């Protein structure tokens, strides 16, 4: 079977509609429709229910999902194996939010280098939508992120809770602060922030990455909510201060991986074991 058909199927399954899948694959919607039609003809089964709300997997589509992921993953694995450096037996790809690459995921890389030195690692930074898409398509083995969505064939497992604290570059600034930098930590954070700060004016500066907010804060001043783990050393160094009398918020971090991968894939199992071990250590530090 043409793996391009399998990739197109996975793109539609991940995005939930043909238009978004076409944009994702950089092809026309008619091309996506033609590929899915060809795939359904080959398999002799309807894979999607089409409707106003998009495309939803049929029972046959849900069963084919696992096989499509295996097809794509097998090709990816073949490409990796051919290009593996001498002395390495396998490759593992992990994609995570940039805030989780600050302090946490580098420890995982070090853990893997010691626990499985013959496994080559591919490391990526991504946002939730991109990470989930890559997991569905089989081009990423493990995703580490804050707000995953439920997708067929994927396991979403909690790792640890980030503690978001309100920090400032000047302890005399007070709150509310005209220099507040609002970081997009996801819908749960927005809801918590609105509940506890109903009178806060709309932010004039918004960033989608915590690292950007920290750099802005350190360079030009202001305040913002950041993971305590991310700003701990700045607080200890006297560069930032926690704003008193303000609530702390919880932001759960998760790992996402193929449901049929753990146990069947030793390399994936080692990677997951490392994340669980380090997550437990992170929780103990709180």
> Could you give all domains of the chain from N- to C-terminal order, each with its CATH number?
3-70 (1.10.10.10), 89-286 (3.40.190.290)
Q: Rounded distance, CA 205 to CA 10, Å? A: 36
DSSP 183-238: E---HHHHHHHHHH-TTPPPPSEEESSHHHHHHHHHHH--EEEEEHHHHHHHHHTT
Whole-prediction pTM value?
0.72
Q: Return the CA Rg of the chain.
A: 22
Whole-angstrom distance, CA of residue 258 vs CA of residue 140: 10
DSSP code, position 127:
-
**Alpha carbon separation from 176 to 41, 181, 196, 209, 210 (Å, rounded):** 61, 11, 12, 22, 20
> Which residue, 177, 172, 186, 197, is CA-closest to 248?
197
**pLDDT tens digits for the chain (286 residues)?**
678 898 899 889 888 889 988 988 889 999 999 999 999 999 999 999 988 778 989 999 998 988 888 787 777 767 666 666 777 888 899 999 999 998 899 999 999 999 999 999 999 999 898 899 888 877 899 999 998 988 878 999 999 999 999 999 999 887 888 899 999 998 889 889 999 988 888 888 999 899 999 999 999 999 999 999 999 999 999 999 999 989 999 999 999 998 876 666 899 999 999 999 999 998 877 6
Q: Are 7 and 76 in contact (CB under 8 A)?
A: no
SS3 163: strand
């Amino acid at each position: 079977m043409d793996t391009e058909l399998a990739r197109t199927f996975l793109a539609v399954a991940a995005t939930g509609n043909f238009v978004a899948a076409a944009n994702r694959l950089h092809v026309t919607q008619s091309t996506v429709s033609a590929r899915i039609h060809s795939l359904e003809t080959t398999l002799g089964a309807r894979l999607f229910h089409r409707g106003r709300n998009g495309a939803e997997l049929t029972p046959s589509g849900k069963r084919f999902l696992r096989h499509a992921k295996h097809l794509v993953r097998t090709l990816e694995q073949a490409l990796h194996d051919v290009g593996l450096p001498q002395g390495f037996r396998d490759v593992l790809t992990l994609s995570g939010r940039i805030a989780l690459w600050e302090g946490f995921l580098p420890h995982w890389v070090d853990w893997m280098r010691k626990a499985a030195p013959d496994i080559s690692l591919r490391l990526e930074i991504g946002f939730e939508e991109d990470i989930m898409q890559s997991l569905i398509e089989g081009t990423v083995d493990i995703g580490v992120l804050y707000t995953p969505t439920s997708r067929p064939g994927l396991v979403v497992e909690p790792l640890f809770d980030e503690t978001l604290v309100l920090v400032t570059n000047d302890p005399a600034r007070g709150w509310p602060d005209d220099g507040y930098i609002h970081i997009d930590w996801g819908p749960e954070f927005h809801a918590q922030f609105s509940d506890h700060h109903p009178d806060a004016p709309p932010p004039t500066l918004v960033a989608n990455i915590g690292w950007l907010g920290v750099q802005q804060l350190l360079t030009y001043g202001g305040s913002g909510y950041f993971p305590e783990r991310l700003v701990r050393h700045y607080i200890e160094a006297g560069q930032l201060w926690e704003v008193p009398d303000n609530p702390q918020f919880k932001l759960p971090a998760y790992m996402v991986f193929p449901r049929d991968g753990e146990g069947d894939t030793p390399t994936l199992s080692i990677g997951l074991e490392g994340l669980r071990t380090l997550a437990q250590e992170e929780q103990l530090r709180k």
